[in-house]
Amino acid sequence: MVNAIIAAPLSDCAFVHYSLLRPLLFALDPERAHALTLDALDRTNALGLAGLIADRPRSEKGSTVRAMGLEFPNPVGLAAGMDKNGAHIDGLAALGFGFIEIGTTTPRPQPGNPKPRMFRLPHAQALINRLGFNNEGVDALLGNVGRSRFVREGGMLGINIGKNFDTPIERAADDYLACLRKVYDKASYVTVNISSPNTANLRELQSAAALGGLIRALKSEQQRLADTHGRLVPLAVKIAPDLTQEQVEAIARLLVEYEIEAVIATNTTIARDAVSALPHGNETGGLSGAPLRPRSTQVIRWLAAALEGALPIIGVGGIGSGADAREKIEAGAALVQLYTGLVYRGPDLVGECVRALAA
Ligand SMILES: Cc1cc2nc3c(=O)[nH]c(=O)nc-3n(C[C@H](O)[C@H](O)[C@H](O)COP(=O)(O)O)c2cc1C
């Protein structure tokens, strides 16, 4: 086995290593495995050994994509939530992503929900989480961003912002505005997360009445900040998969009306039909991974039809192969993001998706 690893070309190594590592990681509590993996990634990268983990396909020929007025070296990004505090940007970037989205961050630090709050459903290649925006707050995140070489070298960084759990929903805009002001000149784009199922009432912000008020306030602050900093940082709105076609169309109309620069579809789902018979299948929280894929792709199709190209769609939800990434692009996405697929497939998935989309 060891010989097989040594003899394998570098591009195969990542897969061989992860297939060996996965049973060990899956024997651990999911949050512990998560922390260990990210630490190992940082250490490997700091030693200059990132090539042993992934074959860095960031500049694959023909994979550059322009969206939101930005140039992405490839269309495959890291989805929000894996690096909530931006503490592992360089290690994650070494896997070959075209862009990295950190957060969700909130104005003040908060511990999130009691543990256990993250569950694997291996038979469904899925996760359920109810982390609840556990994070060290936006100031700590900015400290980490300031130390990132990837950021210094002009890498594409999305910063995903939310509200503290104890901020009343009527005051939610204050939290988003506070975060936007702080992260503005450090981000390539800023994501407004109104779709996590783990912060009480957050998804109510997707209703036409609430969303109109929130994005009007954010757009006017964005304009003020653009004048101050001499650069317009695009805003992306991240939506849930648990919306009807009519709700998606109403959101699309607002995004066009207020000239929001992008939409991210989708966050995790509260639906359980595909997994309710499985161990952990009825845990409270957001379901991600393979069972989410068809629903998230459907939302992308509805958005694409309603938006008619007015703004780009970032497709996320259940991508576990290059073919899944293509499905999102064919449904109308300009860029894609990965999270749960990485847990099941390992870092090899990034290169596979980049190549599938370049082909
Ligand atoms: C453990 C976990 C934590 C997450 N945290 C966040 C978050 O803080 N903010 C956010 O916008 N999305 C968060 N997400 C949602 C992902 O960014 C993504 O939208 C969703 O998981 C669907 O993609 P996937 O099926 O590839 O995982 C989280 C997902 C997981 C699995």
Residue nearest to atom 10 of ligand 1 (CA): 80
Ligand 1 center from residue 129 Cα (angstroms): 9
Ligand 1 center from residue 268 Cα (angstroms): 6
Ligand 1 center from residue 38 Cα (angstroms): 16
pLDDT tens digits, one per residue of 144-177: 999 999 999 999 999 999 999 999 999 999 999 9
Residue nearest to atom 7 of ligand 1 (CA): 81
Q: Is the pLDDT of residue 13 over 90?
A: no
Exposed e or buried b per residue across 245-277, where buried means at least 16 C-beta atoms within 10 angstroms of its C-beta: eebbebbbebbeebebbbbbbbbbbbebebbee
| Set 188, 196, 288, 296: catalytic member | 196
Percent of the chain whose pLDDT exceeds 90: 91
Q: Is the pLDDT of residue 315 over 90?
A: yes
Phi then psi for residue 170, to 5 deg, are -65, -20
pLDDT tens digits, one per residue of 106-139: 999 999 999 999 999 999 999 999 999 999 999 9
pLDDT tens digits, one per residue of 253-277: 999 999 999 999 999 999 999 999 9
- Three-state DSSP string of the chain: CHHHHHHCCHHHHHHHHHHHHHHHHHCCCHHHHHHHHHHHHHHHHHCCCHHHCCCCCCCCCCCCEEECCEEECCCEEECCCCCCCCCCHHHHHCCCCCEEEEEEECCCCECCCCCCCEEEEHHHCEEEECCCCCECCHHHHHHHHHCCHHHHCCCCEEEEECCCCCCCHHHHHHHHHHHHHHHHHHCCEEEEECCCCCCCCHHHHHCHHHHHHHHHHHHHHHHHHHHHHCCCCCEEEEECCCCCHHHHHHHHHHHHHCCCCEEEECCCECCCCCCCCCCCCCCCCEEEEHHHHHHHHHHHHHHHHHHCCCCCEEEECCCCCHHHHHHHHHHCCCEEEECHHHHHHCCHHHHHHHHHHHC
Q: Which whole number is the average pLDDT over 65-92?
A: 98
Q: Does residue 289 line the site of ligand 1, with CB under 6 A?
A: yes
* Amino acid of residue 210: A
Beta-carbon neighbour count of residue 142 at 10 Å? 16
Q: Which two tokens stand for residue 254?
A: 């607002």
Cis check for the bond before 266: say yes or no (omega within 30 of 0). Answer: yes
Mutate to test the pocket of ligand 1, among 288, 300, 324 (most ligand atoms within 8 A of CB): 288
**Which numbered atom of ligand 1 lies nearest the CA of 296?**
22
Going by C-beta distance under 8 Å and a sequence separation of 6 or more, which residues neighbour residue 10? 51, 52, 55
Q: Does residue 339 line the site of ligand 1, with CB under 6 A?
A: yes
Residue nearest to atom 23 of ligand 1 (CA): 317
Q: Is the pLDDT of residue 11 over 50?
A: no
Determine the Cα–Cα distance for residues 111 and 135; give it in Å rounded to an integer.
7
Cα–Cα distances (Å) from 301 to 152, 295, 330, in that order, read 36, 10, 9
Q: Is the pLDDT of residue 53 over 80?
A: no
Active site residue 196: yes
Q: Does residue 95 line the site of ligand 1, with CB under 6 A?
A: no
pLDDT tens digits, one per residue of 324-340: 999 999 999 999 999 99
Mutate to test the pocket of ligand 1, among 138, 339, 353 (most ligand atoms within 8 A of CB): 339
Task: Please tell me the predicted confidence (pLDDT) of residue 62.
Answer: 82
Q: Does residue 198 line the site of ligand 1, with CB under 6 A?
A: no
Percent of the chain whose pLDDT exceeds 70: 94
CB 219 within 8 A of CB 177: no
The region of weakest confidence among 38-52, 85-99, 190-204, 306-320 is 38-52
Instruction: Classify the C-alpha dihedral 115-121-122-127 as positive or negative.
Output: negative
Determine the Cα–Cα distance for residues 172 and 187; give it in Å rounded to an integer.
21
Mutate to test the pocket of ligand 1, among 267, 292, 342 (most ligand atoms within 8 A of CB): 267
Q: What is the pTM of this model?
A: 0.96
Q: Does residue 104 line the site of ligand 1, with CB under 6 A?
A: yes
Q: Does residue 355 line the site of ligand 1, with CB under 6 A?
A: no
Q: Does residue 269 line the site of ligand 1, with CB under 6 A?
A: no
Task: Please tell me the predicted confidence (pLDDT) of residue 123.
Answer: 98
Q: Which two tokens stand for residue 119?
A: 């569950």
Task: Please tell me the predicted confidence (pLDDT) of residue 8.
Answer: 38
